[in-house]
Each structure stands twice: as structure tokens, then as C-alpha cells.
Chain A
Amino acid sequence: MKVAEPAAVAVAYNEIKSRAESRWRELANGDKPVIMVGTATCGRAAGALQVLKTLRNEVKKHNLDCPVVEVGCMGHCHAEPIVMIKKPGYPFISYGYVNPVVAERLVKEFLLGDDPCLESVLGALEENDLVPSLADFPRAVYEKKIILQNCGQIDPTDIDHYVARDGYAALARVLQMPPDDDVINEVKKSGLRGRGGAGFPAGQKWHACRSTPPGPRYIICNGDEGDPGAFMDRAILESDPHSVIEGMIIAGYAIGASYGYIYVRAEYPLAVARLEIALRQARKLNLLGKNILGSGFSFHIRLFQGSGAFVCGEATALAASIEGKPGTPRPKPPRMTTEGLFGRPTVVNNVKTLAFVPPIIRNGAAWFTSIGTKDSPGTAVFALAGKIANTGLVEVPMGTTLRQVIFDVGGGIPKGKKFKAVQIGGPSGGCLPESALDLPIDFDSLQDAGAMMGSGGMVVLDEDDCMVEIARYFLEFTQRESCGKCTFCRLGTKQMLAILDDITLGQGKEGDIDTLLQLAEDVKLGSLCGLGKTAPNPVLTTLRYFKDEYEAHITEGRCPALMCRELIAYYILPDKCERSCDACVGTCTVEAITPNKKRIKVIDQEKCVKCNTCLVACPPQYNAVIKLSPPSEVPAAK
């Protein structure tokens, strides 16, 4: 590698930067209004594309000079589609739950008229006297955005937006450093730990790879996010792809690699499309490719689309998949850093890990270690899902407690229900009960509690969730996603699932809990790869914290959460049932409900298929339909 020419790099970067800044100023600080629409997958699922179309049509119809820009995910996924409007004379306002009708009004009333449509406001993006700002929300107290900083704020398909917000500044700085250990030392000092789940120190991994004999090395960005309920990597790739690309180039420079792969699931078509655009734009500006910014350093990135195997998120299986072989893991060692892709030293980093690299280089390791805890510096990104008021993406400093994330940031449990457990770390993680809520979130404390940080999925469960069923659900996932190579994962998870199936169907036997526990321990210890080793975690943690629920299923035939269909029965309370109401009779799918002589409705338990329709249909002022478990609780008909 040619020695870098610091001056030339700085000149080349400044040229790109000043052009980007002038374009950004024109858009953001000009005197014309700007509309931004969040069109990441979460927004699209809620109908953002129709909103976008309506807004564009309206703007065109009224001949407004107002750019309509697509941006990524702001993290308030529960309020999608989100539209942000900056109109001169007004604060930067975001609107939630926008539909085409609201969109039309926003143009007519706000842009053409002077009514900021306060009834649709989500919050302002800056302090002002007109509308409460998002920074005043309870969640803002805890949130600290580092890698989500640009998400929802910039057009991910426009590299200038990223550059204008200090994008590629870290790369330019790194390229002016000598290609020795400086960059790695900075990352090491920052204490950055891998965000894929295991929390291995990134600097150490880079160092191990760099210390190998000279020859081709690779860097792989692991975007094979497959946990049910997790969408952090997707959101970042869709909303701020350049941050990941920049992190990768820096990593490449640090470890002496000239090729990198971004491994993304093919099920993330929008992420793939936006990455392709981002790569093209980076190449065009010579931020990627041969002789980057005249530094003499060349780096190329290829996009590889995985075919949707969960196990391909495991580094060795991922490498095998890129090589064109079946995506099955191999035993380690040799580690990836010594023998990885095509048998060459390879660093595999998660999307989020790489996205942390540019801010660390820009602000220094000391800044990064000042955030979070001593052993887990920085922030953690979580995808909040399940029984929580504000589903969405949050970024909080490590060390924040689970309670703060769920109740303050996430807004607690909806419908006044009671919190039961939080499933953290996806199918490899565990279910933690209320007593664990005050645990600080970091890599080590969660592990001690039996869960793991995982890549950031957080599914909140309330009193209506049966823990046996939850364990069964996650195990069914890992069992289905097992590659089948090793005995414990292929057959062990299948056996465990068979036991859990039986328990939830009311066919559990005495001794099942013991067998389940033994198998779970053996699968955890004996499996070949990380998927198998962590697959029993949901079972182990639910057995540890909610063993009474398992026992109730087996010994009493009772599902305490009234969730397992075979163990419950529907019953209409005669005192509450209204004589003149027939709501349940009409909706019952199998004609199992008939009025008795007093016109009180009675369910024929033989006919009932437990479809839940009557419970939904019974008007709230009566609430006469209830679930009972075990089914023998239903009083005999008189």
C-alpha cells in the first residue's frame, strides 16, 4: 500500500463536504418549506407510500415549491406513517398516524394556509413555543442517539445528506493516519463490543485479524438479522446505509483488507436497494473503490443477499454461504480471524458495530467510554415489540435499566394490563421476570440473569401471555431454523419442542419438566454452534422464573394465563349476561351459543371451538364472556 498523502485526502474530502453542505443548506435552512416522509419498511407497512404519493400530487397540484423527501425510520414505529414538515416561520414539526386524508389537509391547511394541524402533531423536532417537542417526551430523558442519529433525519438515497452531517469525516481522518495500529488502538480504547449479541471486543477482533501473515483479508458486515421481532439492523441499513459503509471502509483500512462483503437478507429488499444506491454514490465520489480520496488505499464492497437462513447469521455459516456452500456452521477454532472467508483471515462485524465506528473515530475513544458502563461502553439499540405502548426503535446508554426502557421509553403496558416478562435477545435470549426489571442493560448483567443482550430484540409480555407457550414459540423458531448438522440441535430441540407441544396441549406428563431441563442443559453445552448453544435459553429462563406455570399445565391441566386453547373453556356469566342482547349468538362460528328459557346465553362446550369470537363480541358494558382454566371449572348446566 502506498503511504497516504494526508493533504491530498483532506483537500478531496473538503471539496465533497462543502458541496454537500451547500446542498443541505439549500434544503434545510432555505426559505421554502420541506416535507419529509418516513419510508422505511415500518412506514411502508403502515401506508407511507400512499401518503408520499398524496403529498407529491398535492404539492404538484398547487404548484408549491416544496421538495418532498423520503427519509428513514425515526424510531417511533408505533406512530407510522410519520411526516415531518419544515415551514419557514414555524418549528420543524412531525406528524404521526398520517393517512392520505391527513396528508392532503397538511398541504392545504398548513402549507397553503396557516393552520399547523395541531391535532395530528406527534411532536416538534426542535424547542419552540407552539408545540411540545419530542425532546420533552419521557423517552427523551433516557434516549441517547449515536447510531440512530441520522435515521429519519436524512434521505438515505442521497450521499450529500450524510456527508453534510459529518459523514465520511471519520474516513477522511483515518486515511490521513499511517496504516498501522493507530485506528485499531482507538477502537480498542473505546471498548466497543460487538453488537451482534456476544459482545466480543471489536478492537481485539480487528487486532487478531491484522496480526495474521500478509495476504488477502476480508471484512464482512453481518446484516442477516433474523430474530423474530427484531428490526434494528434493517432500520439502520434502510435509514442510514452510509454509516455502515463508512464503518466498513475504516475497518478495512485498519485490518489491511481490500474487500468487504455486506451480507443482507434477501427478505430486506428495501435495505438491499438503498445499500446498492449508497454503494454506487460512494464509488462515484471516490469514497469507495480504487485509491480512495487519493490516499492510495483501495477498498471494494460487494453486496451479498442471504437466502433467509437464520443460521447464516453465525459467522462460519455466513462465510460458507458466501462461498456458495450450504450455510452450515463448522467447528471453531480455527477462528474466523485466522481462517475465515475463502480460508483467509476475516472480520465479521454486526451492522450496528460498524455503524459505531465513524462516531468513535470522529469524537474519540474517551467520548465513547464516557457513555454507558465501564465494561459495556456506548449505547444499546432495541427494537421494542410485543405488549408495549410505543413499539419502535430506541437507543439508550448501556446501564439503563429494563424498567426505564419498558415503562419510561416504551410507555409501559397498554390496556392497563400487568407486566409479566420481557423476552430479550430474541430466540437466543431469555425471558426475564419483574424481579429482573431493575437490572442495568449491559452484556454481562443480562447474561448472569440467564438472558443475553442479543442483537437487540425486546418483546414485552403481559399477564395474558402463557410462558410455556412463549418458550414453545421461540423454540419452534430455532428448531425450524436449525440447519440439522449436529445431533443436539437437530434432534434435541425437536424433542424439547415435542415436550412443550404436549404441555401446551394439556398432555404433559410427570417427569416432562425434568427431561426438558436435562435436554436443555445438554443442548446448550453440546451443540456445535451458537444457534444450538443458545436455543434452550427461552426454555431455561422460563423454567427458572415461571416453573409454577409449567407445573400448573401438567398437574392441574390449567393454563394460568388462559392462553393455551386446549386448557381453557369459554363461559358466559349468567349474572352479567343481558337478556336482550344476542351479540355472541350471531357471531359464534359454530352455533354453539343458544339462549336458555330466561334468555341467558349458554355455550355448548361440546360444540365450542374456542375461537374467542364471543368474548370479542360481548359488549364491554356486560363483559359476560370469560375464559376458565381448567375447562372443568365451567359450572354444570342446570
Chain B
Amino acid sequence: MKTVSLTIDGRKIIAEEGTKLLWVALDNGIYIPNLCAIRSSPEPAAACRLCFVEVAGKEAPVTACTETVAEGMVVNTRGKKALRLARSAFELLMASHPVDCAGCPANRSCELQKISGHLKVKLKTKRLRTLLRELPIDDSHPLFTYDPNKCVLCGRCLWVCRQQLGIGVLGFAHRGFQRVVTTFADEPLGQSRCQECGDCIAVCPTGALSFKDSAKPAARAVKI
């Protein structure tokens, strides 16, 4: 295994060549906020725009999930410019996310709460307008509920369902602000080909997918 050495937030780190910066940081206990990153995916989605970091020698912040580690790389995860982008992206997500933590099954296991703490950004944004989509909640499945309003479109559930289990009940539909995770022809989940493995619920970082009768486990209980 060829390795490279780099510095993240002042710490010298040895990493496998070709790895993406995000995984190297996370594996070394340095948290960088992220939602859409999937380790087993051959290419990063780079969709959530939360993992911005600053790399010495680069003028603009880069997303850690797309940046391959390089010898001598110097990374600052708390740079001003990077934090501004990450905070802005997080605020945008939260401005379109119904904030009702007390009534949410994901309360305290929610990654949005974790990121909020890390970035020091309030869950309820004052700067932006609240733009909710008010989509119907799919309650049709006996075991779990899908609330598309809480979904941050990270794509993890799609990945486990399609790539890991080969079922592919879920997919993205529509464009722009209307983009949503749904089933083919918006079939209710209770009538879909869902095999009730529950992996999608386990990987969901928010309360969008949650069990009906039990508290939501911390996300990433299933390795993706």
C-alpha cells in the first residue's frame, strides 16, 4: 500500500494514496460535516456541499469528499471561507426543513443536530426565509414512516436499496426544488417491493425515514 503524508488541522496524518480527504479526516477522528458521502460509492455525489475545507495553495475552498489526498497537503477544516460555505449550505438545508425536534423520532440521533452543533449554526435560521414543501407523509408501510419534508436528499437510502441490496425501491424524481426521494410512480411504500430490511432507515441521517414503534437508531448503523 502506497501512502502519503498530509497535515489536517495541524495534525500529521499518514493516509493511503488515492483516498478522498473526507474519509481520511473522519478515520482520524477529525469531523467534517457531511451528508451525501458514501464510502462504497465509486464516485462522490458531492451534492450536500457541507464538507468544504481549505487546502493550502488553493484559493477557493474544496469539498473534502472529492479531493484526493496528496503528499504534503496541508488542510484546514476550520478555515473562514470554508466555514462560511458550509454554514451557508447548512442554513439553506435547514430553511427548507421543518424543525420540530421534540416531536421527531430522530431527535438526538439526527445528524442535522450534530452538524448544527459542529458548525455552531442554529437549527432555525433567521437570515433566510422558511421555504417548506409541505409534501404528504407516506404512512402506508406497517413498520416505518417516510416524511419527505424532512429529507435532505443525501441519497443514502437509494444507495443501500439499489446498490447494496439490488432492490431499488427508492429513487430520485423531479428537478430543482421539487426533487424528491420517492418510489416508481409515487407508489405508496406499503405497496412497493420493499423487503423490510430497514437499512434505509438506519442510514437516513434525519427523521425522514423512521420506524413507527421504536426510537431511531443513530445513523450509519449499517455500513455504507
Cα A522 to Cα B83 in complex, Å, equals 11
Name A353-374 residues within 8 Å CB distance of B. Answer: none
Say whether B120 faces chain A, with CB atoms less than 8 Å apart.
Answer: no
The residues of B that contact A490 with a CB separation of less than 8 Å are: 153, 176-177, 179
Check B131 against A494 for contact (C-beta < 8 Å).
yes
B2 contacts chain A at the CB level, 8 A cutoff: no
> A-facing mask of B24-52, CB < 8 A → 1, else 0?
00000000000000000001111111101
Complex interface: chain A residues within 8 A of B50 (CB): 487
Interface 9-residue window, one of A233-241, A386-394, A474-482: A474-482
Q: Decide: A331 and B177 in contact? CB cutoff 8 A.
A: no
Q: What are 17 A-B residue pairs whose CB atoms fall within 8 Å in the complex?
A: A481-B176, A484-B153, A485-B179, A487-B92, A488-B49, A488-B88, A490-B176, A490-B177, A491-B93, A494-B176, A495-B92, A495-B95, A519-B88, A522-B84, A526-B49, A526-B52, A526-B89
Mark contacts of A478-509 with chain B using CB atoms, 8 A cut-off: 1 yes-contact digit, 0 otherwise.
01111111111011101100110000000000
Say how far B125's CB is from chain A's closest CB, in angstroms: 10
Known: A495-B92, A526-B52. A479 touches B177 (CB 8 A): yes
User: Which residues in A have their C-beta under 8 angstroms from that of B179?
Assistant: 483-485, 490
Q: Complex Cα distance A42/B127, Å? A: 46
> Does B58 lie at the interface of the complex (its beta carbon under 8 Å from any beta carbon of A)?
no
Most chain A beta-carbon neighbours within 10 Å: one of B89, B95, B174, B175:
B175
Which 8 pairs, one residue from A and one from B, show the smallest C-beta to C-beta distance? A484-B179, A491-B92, A331-B46, A522-B88, A482-B176, A526-B85, A331-B66, A487-B49
Contact A487 B89 (CB under 8 A): yes
Set of chain A residues within 8 Å of B176, measured between Cβ atoms: 479-484, 490, 494
Nearest residue (CB) in B for A523 is: B88
Across-interface contacts of A527 in B (CB, < 8 A): 49
Are B172 and A498 in touch, CB under 8 angstroms?
no
Whether the pair A486, B92 counts as a contact (CB closer than 8 A) is no
Residues of B within 8 Å of A483, CB to CB, are: 175-176, 179
Chain B: CB-nearest residue to A502 = B129
CB-based nearest A residue for B129: A498
Interface residues of A (CB under 8 A from B): 309, 326, 330-331, 479-488, 490-492, 494-495, 498-499, 515, 518-519, 522, 525-528
B96 CB-CB contact with A under 8 Å: yes
Inter-chain CA distance A628–B153, complex, in Å, is: 46
Does the CB pair B95–A486 fall under 8 Å? Answer: no
- Residue with the greatest number of chain A CB neighbours at <10 A, chosen from B45, B47, B66, B95: B47
Q: For the complex, give the distance between the alpha carbons of A352 and B218 in Å.
A: 53
Separation of A326 and B60 alpha carbons in the complex (Å): 29
Query: Is B191 an interface residue, CB under 8 A from the partner?
Result: no
Inside 8 A of B96's CB, which chain A residues have their CB? 491, 494
A331 and chain B: residue at smallest CB distance? B46
| B49–chain A nearest beta-carbon distance, Å | 5
Q: Is B143 an interface residue (CB 8 A)?
A: no
- Cβ-defined partner of A488 (8 Å) among B43, B45, B66, B92: B92
Cα-based distance from A142 to B123 in the complex (angstroms): 58
CA distance A485 to B88 in the complex (A): 16
In contact, B47 and A487 (Cβ under 8 angstroms): yes
Provide the bound-state CA to CA distance between A79 and B96, in Å.
49
- Does any Cβ of A come within 8 Å of B77's Cβ? no
A492 to B128, CA, bound (A): 10
In the complex, residue of chain B having the shortest beta-carbon distance to the beta carbon of A488: B49
Q: Of A331, A480, A492, which is within 8 A of B92 by CB?
A: A492
A490 and B96 alpha carbons, distance in the complex (Å): 11
Question: Nearest Cβ distance between residue B105 and chain A, in whole angstroms?
Answer: 24
Tell me which of B52, B127, B177 has the highest count of chain A C-beta atoms within 10 A of its own C-beta.
Answer: B177
- List B106-154 residues whose CB lies under 8 Å from chain A: 127-129, 131, 153
Say if the beta carbon of B205 comes within 8 Å of chain A: no
- Bound complex: CA A498 to CA B127 (Å): 13
| 7 additional contacts (CB under 8 A) given A484-B174, A491-B177 | A326-B172, A481-B176, A484-B175, A487-B48, A491-B96, A494-B177, A526-B85
> In this complex, what residue of A is CB-closest to B180?
A484
User: A495 with B129: in contact, given A330-B43, A487-B48 (CB under 8 Å)?
Assistant: yes
- Which residues of chain A are within 8 angstroms of B174 by Cβ–Cβ distance? 484
Given contacts A483-B176, A495-B128, A498-B129, contact A331 B44 (CB under 8 A): yes
- CB pair B85 A525 closer than 8 Å: yes
B63 within 8 A of A: yes
* Cα distance, A481 to B47, chains bound together (Å): 16
A492 to B48, CA, bound (A): 12
Instruction: Evaluate contact between A331 and B131: CB separation under 8 angstroms.
Output: no
Say how far A534's CB is from chain B's closest CB, in angstroms.
15
Residues on B with C-beta less than 8 A from A326 are: 172
Per the bound structure, the CA–CA distance linking A527 and B47 in Å amounts to 9
A498: B residues at CB distance < 8 A: 129, 131
**Assembled-state Cα–Cα distance A481/B60 (Å):** 26
Instruction: Decide: B44 and A482 in contact? CB cutoff 8 A.
Output: no
Q: Does the CB pair A482–B49 fall under 8 Å? A: no
Q: Check if B178 is an interface residue, CB within 8 A of chain A.
A: yes
Report the bound CA distance from A469 to B197 in whole Å. 51
